[in-house]
Amino acid sequence: MSLEAKDLRGNEPDELRSTVRKLEEDLFKHRLKKTTSQLENTMLIRQTRRDIARVYTVLAERVRQIGTGSGKAAANQTVPVTSKESAKTTAKAAAEETSKKPGKEPAKETAAKATKATKKKPAAKSAAKKET
């Protein structure tokens, strides 16, 4: 049931993007079923992830081909980035942006202050035991 790269290469970039969207929805549904113990074949999750990667690979190849053919067409074609590294980079940029604003503290410092404020002090149980 997995997709073949040679079959995907005949598709247009818009078709590939809609295929990725459908596969990501399927992946979400599979994960939800797994969490609720309704998914009988857990291999479907791995297979869907690999199909998504396969489609992204073909889409990147297609964009690269368009890029070598004409520069304007390649600029209009974008490949969505969903890697963890890009998410980290985006998070760092957002944290830096908030730290540059006057009166704002970076998120890490604010979180550290919040945890210090919420730490409970040890109860005076040992003092109560000594009295009795």
3-state secondary structure the chain: CCCCHHHHCCCCHHHHHHHHHHHHHHHHHHHHHHHCCCCCCCHHHHHHHHHHHHHHHHHHHHHHHHHHHCHHHHHHCCCCCCCHHHHHHHHHHHHHHHHHCCCCCCHHHHHHHHHHHHCCCCCCHHHHHHHC
Mean per-residue pLDDT over the chain, rounded? 74
pTM, whole model, 2 decimals?
A: 0.51
| Spans of all domains in the chain | 5-101
Q: What is the pLDDT of residue 71?
A: 46
Q: Pull the structure tokens for residue 4.
A: 């073949």
Give the model confidence (pLDDT) of 88-121 as tens digits: 555 565 555 555 555 555 555 555 555 555 555 5
Two tokens, residue 44: 């479907």
pLDDT 10s digits, 75-95: 455 555 555 555 555 556 555
